Amino acid sequence: MHAQIAHDIGLAIMVATVLAFAAKLARQPVLLAYIGAGMLVGRNLGFGWIHEQASLDVLGEIGLAFLMFIVGLEMDLKKLLKSSRDALILGLVQVVASAVLLWGAAFALGYRGLPALYLGVAGAFSSTMIVVKLLSDKRVIDTLAGRMVLAVLLIQDAIAIVVLGLQPNLTSPQALPILLSLAKGAGLVVGAVAAARFLLPRLLALVAMLPEVLLLTAISWCFLVAGLAVACDFSVAMGALIAGATLGGLPYALDVIAKIRGLRDFFVTLFFVALGGQLQRPSAGLLGVAALFSAAVVASRVFTVLPTLLALRYDARIGILTCIDLVPASEFSIVIVSLGAMRFGHVPQEIVTIIVLAMILTATLTTYAGRFDKRLVQFGAAALARLGLRGRARAEGASTKEDVALLILGCHRITSALLPRLRERTDYRIVDFNPAVHRDLAAGGYRAIYGDLSHAETLEEAGIHHAQVVLSTISDDFLHGTSNAALVAQARRLNPHAVILATAERRSEARRVYDAGADFVLIPKLATAEEFARTLAHAEAGERETLRQEGLAQLEGKGEVLD
């Protein structure tokens, strides 16, 4: 049996890999390739190569937990609470109005009761995974439309928590069970927030310098809260999402995301492969229903997002771009209907099939629409202008990442000595993964984030794409698992136009760092020798007082965190 499970997992991964290459060549989201792989190897639609579907489903549920945990980590409750009034209004209107419109569409398609309700609610959410990937590929995350879309996705995630909390009581919607469910959910959230506020920072600080233990601690927190959620009659997905959201506000979140992403990608692949394997063979009628429902999803975005943004006095360009980006049906939608079908028995399996097909169709449509978004914006804006609907142009503004002109990789002796010169600046950021150093930097008012320098995700979050100068000052003797040459090579790949300054202890190391793409490499012992040669001239001239005054003046600098 164990050999069969290994065979099934290996086969599923290999087929998913082949289809992922095909999706890459076709410029489609690899998520669709994973679902296609499940359809191909499963018994319902494919060749029946998978024999232990139940085991694959269990591993897929682990992937679901990791997926929701990562979404929670990236959600950042502080950013959600500080979202602009416009984003909050848009998010609430879009979800509620889309749910109502899609419930009406489901009703028109012949569905009643809970199936119609599930279709309406599930179709209202947009795919965080696909949308963020598309925004990143187009490099428009930092635009006004991109930031508006991300804010709406955050609000959707928060609403999804409420939906997941109410889901177990849909078959008996009496006030008392619903209030009890809300009380349990509130207790779980309050308890998780309290632990994240008072307990987790101390635990994570103890193991911050031990990467594998930090990762295990974060994963343990994820499954602890997920287990408590199941004990409270909620889903694993809801518990993992709460665990990630409460951990997301801590300085270690970025490092955890970078370390756990590989695990997530592997198990999430199995989740979507398992999901594809569960799809029933759709009839021609069901395919038609899925196509019509997908069209209703697109229409719901147009009729809720565009009028709301115009009413908030945004121009047509922002409204149309936001509509396009919010079209793909969400992985949350699949989670909601899958739980409704398999755990709670609220809806038949065909509802899951409709949502999965809608996700495939809307994601594919958005991918192609993204290639012609400028033409769509021009056409749509002209059509709205003829109707007298223009809105008001908004300045793009600047994101915090765009403010990073100087990115400093690591805070060791040289960076510590540079700190007094950064006092009057706001256009820099320091990245370091020593919790004590990070704490001292934060206490001193310096702009710093906690993260592992060897991970590209850390540097991207720090704003390396916008940096004019990248400075790496830690000697290879103190770097673990990486080197200045590796850091410079990665920085050069992420930002080909930045000026990169680095350090090396020996000439041979300096040559490797230059070959990796550095513009200047400082060798401290040579710089020190130059300084001593200068002071030697004063000494030989008998200028003792000049030397003493210069030396004492160097001691007056304040603001170092290492001394």
Query: Quick one: pLDDT at residue 115?
Result: 92
Q: Give the model's confidence band at 391: pLDDT under 50 very low, under 70 low, under 90 confident, else very high.
A: low
pLDDT over 70 at 395, yes or no: no
- Check pLDDT > 60 for residue 397: no
| pLDDT of residue 94 exceeding 80 | yes
Stretch 116-140: mean pLDDT, rounded? 81
Confidence check: pLDDT of 79 > 60: no
Asked if residue 516 has pLDDT above 60, the reply is: yes
DSSP string, 361-372: HHHHHHHHHHHT
Res 398: pLDDT:
42
Residues paired with 472 in a beta bridge = 409
295: pLDDT strictly greater than 90: yes
Q: What pLDDT is attached to residue 466?
A: 84
pLDDT at res. 248 = 78
Mean pLDDT (whole number) for 272-295: 84
SS3 call for 406: strand
Element holding 500 (H helix, E strand)? strand 499-503
Residue 172: is its pLDDT beyond 70?
no
pLDDT band at 21 (very low <50, low <70, confident <90, very high): very high
- What is the structure's pLDDT at 439? 79
Q: What is the pLDDT of residues 349-364, one digit of tens each?
A: 889 889 988 988 898 8
pLDDT digits (tens, 9 = 90+) for 434-457: 777 877 888 888 888 887 777 777
pLDDT digits (tens, 9 = 90+) for 303-336: 999 999 988 888 888 888 889 889 998 877 888 8
Distance of CA 510 to the CA centre of its chain: 36
Domains of the chain: 64-270+291-386 (1.20.1530.20), 401-554 (3.40.50.720)
| pLDDT in the model for residue 445 | 82
How far apart CA 130 and CA 78 sit, in angstroms, is: 23
Which of 338, 314, 13, 301 is CA-nearest to residue 131? 301
pLDDT more than 90, % of the chain? 17
pLDDT surpassing 60 at residue 188: yes
Question: What residues have CB less than 8 Å from 63, skipping those under 6 apart?
Answer: 264, 266, 267, 268, 269, 270, 271, 272
Cα–Cα distances in Å, from 97 out to 101, 111, 297, 379, 537?
6, 19, 11, 25, 79
pLDDT tens, position by position, 80-91? 555 567 888 999
Model's pTM, two decimal places?
0.65
- Dihedral (Cα; 332, 337, 343, 344), 10-degree rounding: 120
